[in-house]
Amino acid sequence: MHLPYLAGTLLAGLAQASPAEVSPRQSETMLKVDMDIRKLNQRIDGFGFSEAFQRANNIVNLPEEKRAALVDLLFNKTSGAGFTILRNGIGSSPDSSLDWMNTILPQSPGSPDAEPAYVWDGNDSGQLWVAQQAVKYGVETFYADAWSAPGFMKTNGKDSGGGYLCGSPGQKCSSGDWRQAYANYLVKLVQLYADSGVNITHLGFLNEPDMSTSYASMLMDGNQAADFIKILHPTLEKNNLSDVQIACCDATGWKAQQQITRDMVAAGAEPLLGVVTGHTYSSGISGTQPTSLRVWETECSDLKGHWSTAWDSDGGAGDGLTWAMNIYTGLTTGNVSAYLWWVGTQDPATNNNNNEKLVLVDKDTYTVSKRLWAFAQYSRTVRPGAWRLDMLNDASNLKTTAFQNKDLTMAVNIINTGASATPVVISNTLIPARSAQAWVTDNTRDMDAVEVTVNPDGTVGGLSVPARSMVSLTIELASGLL
Ligand SMILES: *[C@@H]1O[C@H](CO)[C@@H](O)[C@H](O)[C@H]1NC(C)=O
Ligand SMILES: *[C@@H]1O[C@H](CO)[C@@H](O)[C@H](O)[C@H]1NC(C)=O
Ligand SMILES: *[C@@H]1O[C@H](CO)[C@@H](O)[C@H](O)[C@H]1NC(C)=O
Ligand SMILES: *[C@@H]1O[C@H](CO)[C@@H](O)[C@H](O)[C@H]1NC(C)=O
Ligand SMILES: *[C@@H]1O[C@H](CO)[C@@H](O)[C@H](O)[C@H]1NC(C)=O
């Protein structure tokens, strides 16, 4: 179905300072970017964040000039982070108290079969406006995800505090079976967004279903999720929305999601599911998900640290460099097709000004963390539809990934975890490079352009990856040979 855009074998090698210094030991550290038509890795959907729980209003309510600049910072692919996925929260709360996301169905229709009276405020906790700006920047992937069903559809009668969807296996309610009503409700949200110029491409009905919280939350295991998917999928089809992919289940950690994935697959839901989604709080990415579907890491952040903009404070949990490496692990070990941060913006008062945001919005101004630039290094160069290529023999101090974009450019991303600069040459045994661009992020630079040269033999060189930095390249190949 998804053929690679180009077949071939590409080699990238560590450059030696001078030919005299070449030793067999050094040539063994050659980086090989091997792109083999028979051995492709995952296709990339993109990189993103969320502005759920009214965080979107941090952007919406900035003075116009700052607001435009912040939107540009998030979505512009030549000067900003170039994010390509927005994850919206589907509101379940009766109103907008605190940071709640209000639902489009605040009143119970009385019974599951009664006509629901949807209420659309055209605001959606600020998220619609942000989504509309993203559309203007060419974002095409919108993941709408519900933290809970409205309270009257649940065993505990409220959208917070866990509880189950009435009618799910093992969960009976005197008010009846609300599964179909919940599916109809989710479809309604997709339709309201489409009417407002935003096409939801991915739809989720759970967030962290393995945990009950004081805010919107709903519990389900893999078997119950599979049961609901078997209702949601035909409901989307009936409404001519079969292009909308179901995403599940955003468990608190990678391991918790692996268990849910296993159970969903065993219950026969895999053919109806679009992508498997998981978070990395209760456990990080240490392997793949047990599915042949695409997998997204849909939420991560540094919840414990105090607000920090640092790139490299020696492995700090919120450091930009730490997150560049986490994204690398997701793309390689996790085989993920998308990597999403938690919230893009937050004010200083919320959660004691912790480090869960990329951008701190304080009254009329904002401050940007290096985590945003870690994402930018990937998101600006690895565009939706890119294929990840195999890396063989990566040097121990470098964490390198390579991709082929849909427009046939190559993206190469190199993190240098070492204490000294590492010269690299990226060579290509089949197709010479025609042009190349490179950018660096480190303590002092935010994806600043750095010089790189295309040698007469078609290799890309003249580049040294600074210590404790990340360098990304896009390489245009000589098209006459494609
Ligand atoms: C959406 O509602 C919030 C809260 O009332 C408000 O602050 C914000 O400005 C509204 N957004 C738009 C785009 O009108
Ligand atoms: C992105 O930024 C560039 C450079 O500042 C600018 O020329 C371009 O218009 C921006 N793109 C959009 C969609 O605004
Ligand atoms: C949304 O989808 C509709 C129907 O497929 C299409 O006509 C429209 O152009 C899409 N809008 C955007 C912004 O992609
Ligand atoms: C779905 O599309 C078909 C064919 O275009 C149309 O007849 C039908 O009314 C549509 N159904 C809905 C629910 O929009
Ligand atoms: C990686 O993900 C793709 C789908 O994107 C899947 O086809 C492939 O089997 C996965 N590989 C591994 C090793 O899990």
The 10s digit of each residue's pLDDT in 414-450 is 999 999 998 888 875 567 889 999 999 999 999 999 9
Which domain CATH number covers 119? 3.20.20.80
Ligand 1 centroid to 60 CA: how many Å? 7
Q: Measured from the CB, is residue 196 less than 6 Å from ligand 3?
A: no
Pocket test for ligand 2, best of 75, 78, 83, 140 (most atoms within 8 A of CB): 78
pLDDT, average across residues 137-159:
98
Residues 197 and 318 placed together within one structural domain of the fold: yes
- Among the listed ranges 54-68, 110-124, 131-145, 468-482, which one has the minimum average pLDDT value? 468-482
Domain of residue 471: give its range. 3-42+387-481
| Closest listed ligand to the CA of 289 | 5
Q: Where does the pLDDT of residue 193 fall: very low under 50, low under 70, confident under 90, or very high at 90 and above? A: very high
Ligand number nearest CA of 190 is 3
Question: How many domains is the chain built from?
Answer: 2
Please, which pLDDT band fits residue 34 given cuts at 50, 70 and 90? low
Per-residue pLDDT tens digits for 72-102: 999 999 999 999 999 999 999 999 999 999 9
Pick the last residue of a domain from 379, 395, 428.
Answer: 379
What pLDDT digit, counting tens, does each position of 335-356 carry?
999 999 999 999 999 999 999 9
- In ligand 5, the atom with minimum distance to the C-alpha of 42 is 5
Average pLDDT in the chain: 91
238 and 368 fall within a common domain:
yes
Judge if 233 and 374 occupy the same domain.
yes
pLDDT at 473: 95
Report whether pLDDT(15) > 50: no
- Asked which of 359, 379, 399 is the last residue of a domain, the reply is 379
Q: From 270, 291, 292, 336, give the residue whose CB has the most ligand 5 atoms within 8 Å, as the site to mutate.
A: 292
The reported pLDDT for the residue numbered 242 is 97
SS3 of the chain: helix, strand, coil, percent, to 5: 25, 25, 50
Question: Which of the four pLDDT bands, split at 50, 70 and 90, describes residue 217?
Answer: very high
Q: What atom in ligand 4 is closest to the CA of residue 239?
A: 13
User: Is residue 436 located within the same domain as residue 309?
Assistant: no
**Ligand 5: which residue has its CA nearest to atom 14?**
288
Q: Which of 187, 240, 241, 243 to mutate to test the pocket of ligand 4 (most atoms within 8 A of CB)?
A: 240
Kindly report, residue by residue over 385-417, the tens digit of the pLDDT.
999 987 655 677 899 998 989 998 899 999 999
Q: How far is the CA of 142 from the centre of ligand 3 (A)?
A: 12
Q: CATH number of the domain that 455 lies in? A: 2.60.40.1180
**Which of 324, 354, 379 delimits the end of a domain?**
379
Say if residue 399 is in the same domain as residue 254.
no
Protein residues with CB under 6 Å of any ligand 2 atom: 72, 76, 78-79, 137
Going by CA atoms, what residue is nearest to atom 2 of ligand 3?
Answer: 199
Instruction: Specify whether 160 is located in the same domain as 282.
Output: yes
- Which residues does 257 contact at the CB level (< 8 Å), separation at least 6? 249, 250, 251, 276, 277, 278, 279, 289
- Residues 299 and 432 both lie in one domain: no
Q: How confident is the model at residue 5 (pLDDT cuts 50, 70, 90)?
A: low
Q: Cβ(85)–Cβ(47) under 8 Å?
A: yes
Strand order in the sheet with 10-14: 448-450, 433-441, 469-477, 410-416, 398-404, 387-392, 32-34, 10-14, 422-427, 460-465, 453-454
Residues 38 and 65 in one domain: no
pTM score, whole prediction: 0.95
Write out residues with Cβ below 6 Å of ligand 1. 57, 60-61, 123, 126, 129
- Looking at the fold, whether 91 and 238 belong to one and the same domain comes out as yes
Residues 264 and 401 in one domain: no
Whether residues 32 and 50 fall in one domain: no
Task: Assign 360 a pLDDT band (cuts: 50, 70, 90).
Answer: very high
Q: Please check whether residues 100 and 154 belong to one and the same domain.
A: yes
- Residue owning the nearest CA to atom 5 of ligand 2: 79
